[in-house]
């Protein structure tokens, strides 16, 4: 039976050089004492140039702190900066403390943050799929009970069923939003682009929100041409208008106005939604399209929402080859401008 023996220096050197990751051994003064073959390739320098170089010139933000934790940093290669994953371990040579630094090239690979985000999106999609089925059943059976009339269901029971139906529908919309957001980040948004009359889409959404606006004491107006044909998915564009109008109504106090305007400009149909709401602080404006982000006012006022609507709007608009801008002033209101390519042919 063969016995284990101490590897020879030649064997150890071969093992280190066979590693696909760059490895440099660094002294306490930051000078490189050793570099393997992968390090030559990664940093674009021959080994005799790497030995004696400063590690700060290779991985500027590394420092000389011993850390087994994997850090995502930037290294300097032959073509400039490149993303890398770095971890370090203490070693010694004849009693001299050294640092063995492994540097992994992340080009073409998902970063740790990206991998984590992908796992999160997959989990959201999986959980949302599981929630959608029972919610759909709850809404369906509730509608059946309500439709049975007072002979089968008392007036009080019918009112309670209406509350159940309304809240289940609200949760189902949240689930659908989560699924949409997850698809934007993973497989891409599925939609069927065809000539779509944006005027009809806006009219439907404004009609659906008319009672909400009346109850809130907010004037809701829309204007535009008789038709405006864009290249898009009618259901997805409906999501865009519904989210923007719903947000405008939610943040506009009683006595205010929400105006929805449509127009054609060159190659795009333009949708403008202006409200007289609380507005968005200048420092928060760059973050309004971030997923799950909610402004300080919305949090403080306990307004309903999960920070999904605007990221979904931007994702849908981007998928249509359009763009969206936002302007706002605290205390005066917010204005969203959406541009969608016009239908051709």
pLDDT tens for residues 140-171?
878 888 788 777 777 788 778 878 877 787 77
Q: How far apart are CA 84 and CA 98, in angstroms?
A: 21
The alpha-carbon radius of gyration of the chain (Å, integer) is 29
Q: How far apart are CA 245 and CA 130, in angstroms?
A: 29
Distance (Å) of CA 272 to CA 195, 316, 329: 20, 16, 16
Res 259 pLDDT > 90? yes
CB 25 within 8 A of CB 101: yes
* CA distance between the termini of the chain: 80
- φ/ψ (deg, to 5) at 231: -90, 105
Predicted pLDDT of residue 300: 57
Q: Which residue in 339, 306, 147, 110 sits closest to 230, CA to CA?
A: 339
Bridge partners for 262 per DSSP = 271
pLDDT band at 332 (very low <50, low <70, confident <90, very high): confident
More confident residue, 2 or 16: 16
pLDDT band at 23 (very low <50, low <70, confident <90, very high): very high
| CA 315 to chain CA mean position, Å | 9
Domains of the chain plus CATH, in order, are: 9-105 (3.30.450.20), 112-187 (1.10.287.130), 194-341 (3.30.565.10)
Res 217 pLDDT > 70? yes
Bridge partners for 328 per DSSP = 334
Tell me how far apart the 2 most distant CA atoms of the chain are, in Å: 94
pTM above the 0.85 mark?
Answer: no
Across the chain, mean pLDDT equals 82
Q: Provide the total of helices (H) and of strands (E) in the chain, helices listed first.
A: 10, 12
Handedness of CA 310, 315, 319, 324 (dihedral sign): positive
Q: Which residue in 319, 326, 325 sits closest to 341, CA to CA?
A: 319
Res 94 pLDDT > 60? yes
For the residues 218-226, what does the mean pLDDT come to? Answer: 93
Distance (Å) of CA 297 to CA 94, 133, 250, 278, 335: 62, 34, 12, 8, 17
Predicted pLDDT of residue 341: 93
Q: How far apart are CA 206 and CA 208, in angstroms?
A: 5
pLDDT band at 135 (very low <50, low <70, confident <90, very high): confident
The three-class DSSP label of residue 245 is helix
**Least confident interval from 50-54, 176-180, 237-241:** 176-180
Conformation bin of residue 266: beta by default, left when phi > 0, alpha when psi is -120 to 50:
left
CB 175 within 8 A of CB 134: no
Predicted pLDDT of residue 22: 92
């Amino acid at each position: 039976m063969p016995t284990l023996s101490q590897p020879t220096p030649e064997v150890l050197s071969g093992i280190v050089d066979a590693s696909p990751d760059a490895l440099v051994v660094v002294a306490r003064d930051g000078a490189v004492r050793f570099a393997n073959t992968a390090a030559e390739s990664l940093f674009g320098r021959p080994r005799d140039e790497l030995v004696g170089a400063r590690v700060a010139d290779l991985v500027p933000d590394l420092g000389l702190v011993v850390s087994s934790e994997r850090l995502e940093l930037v290294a300097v290669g032959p073509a400039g900066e490149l993303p890398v994953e770095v971890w370090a371990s203490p070693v010694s040579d004849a009693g001299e403390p050294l640092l063995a630094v492994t540097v992994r090239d992340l080009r073409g690979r998902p970063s740790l943050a990206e991998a984590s985000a992908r796992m999160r999106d997959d989990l959201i999609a999986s959980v949302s799929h599981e929630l959608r089925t029972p919610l759909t059943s709850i809404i369906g059976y509730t509608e059946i009970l309500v439709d049975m009339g007072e002979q089968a269901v008392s007036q009080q029971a019918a009112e309670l069923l209406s509350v159940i139906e309304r809240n289940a529908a609200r949760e189902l919309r949240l689930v659908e939003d989560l699924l949409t957001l997850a698809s934007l980040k993973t497989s891409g948004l599925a939609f069927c682009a065809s000539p779509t009359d944006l005027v009809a889409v806006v009219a439907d959404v404004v009609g659906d929100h008319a009672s909400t606006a009346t109850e809130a004491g907010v004037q809701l107006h829309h204007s535009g041409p008789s038709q405006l044909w864009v290249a898009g998915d009618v259901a997805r564009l409906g999501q865009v208008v519904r989210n923007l109008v719903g947000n405008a109504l939610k943040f506009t106090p009683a006595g205010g106005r929400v105006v929805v305007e449509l127009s054609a400009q060159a190659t795009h149909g333009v949708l403008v939604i202006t409200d007289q709401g609380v507005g968005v602080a200048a420092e928060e404006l760059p973050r309004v399209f971030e997923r799950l982000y909610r402004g300080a006012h919305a949090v403080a006022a306990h307004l309903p929402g999960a920070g999904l609507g605007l990221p979904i709007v931007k994702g849908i608009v981007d998928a249509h080859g359009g763009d969206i801008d936002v302007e706002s002033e605290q205390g005066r209101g917010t204005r969203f401008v959406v541009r969608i390519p016009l239908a051709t042919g």
